[in-house]
Structure 1
Amino acid sequence: MARPIADVLREMNRGDFFDEVSDELGALVEAVQETGKAGMLTLKISVSPNGGATVKVAGDVSTRLPRRARGDNVFFVASTGSLQRHDPRQSDIFEPRLATSDDAEPRQARKVKGYDD
């Protein structure tokens, strides 16, 4: 009778491969629960001759996690072509707004009589 595969997996790469497969499975289950969509874990075991009575056993694990739904985002396009969350042409009535490159050209500061700097 052949040895159970779980025993062989535990011995591959000093247990690191088994731990990696377990971690990948945990991440897959978590993603499936979060998204409500299916995913897949693929476990590949390759066996090749090594001469005499020995064989080389290598493992590979890959996952296809379900994608989380992402909504669309709305941005305003400034005159420079950059994307901004707020309309650069409109003032915010609740908060002061810092001047941006899209604002009017800066004016020269003027001197006021009676003040020396």
Structure 2
Amino acid sequence: MNFKFFAFMILLLTACQEANQIEKDLEWLLHADPVKDAKKAISVGDLRYVGTIGMFADVPWFAPECISEETVRLIQVSDLVESYEQNKLQAIAPVYATAYNYQILQYQKKHGLKQCDS
């Protein structure tokens, strides 16, 4: 019985630490400007799209068959939300990705570039 309780407590503490780390990793989204960030990336030739990944990857405005490390930068989210703050930050991530990716898409269309060639 004591072993099971001890194992449960370790799992609980580990989950809390992971949730806190995800919150810290996503805090930048509170002050991010996706349009400005996309234009800055374009100016240095970085045409990667942005997506979120938990159990599955989601990349707004991007062809799923083109997803690779070279074409997409993924924001790590969790499928198990531990706090209001984490939930709020994870809600911002796909909105940020949608606005950011729209800028990249418009640039690619304007210059005759294809998504899989990002």
TM-score, with length taken from structure 1: 0.29
Q: Which structure carries more helix by proportion?
A: 2
Q: Which structure carries more strand by proportion?
A: 1
TM-score, with length taken from structure 2: 0.29
Pair member with larger Rg? 1
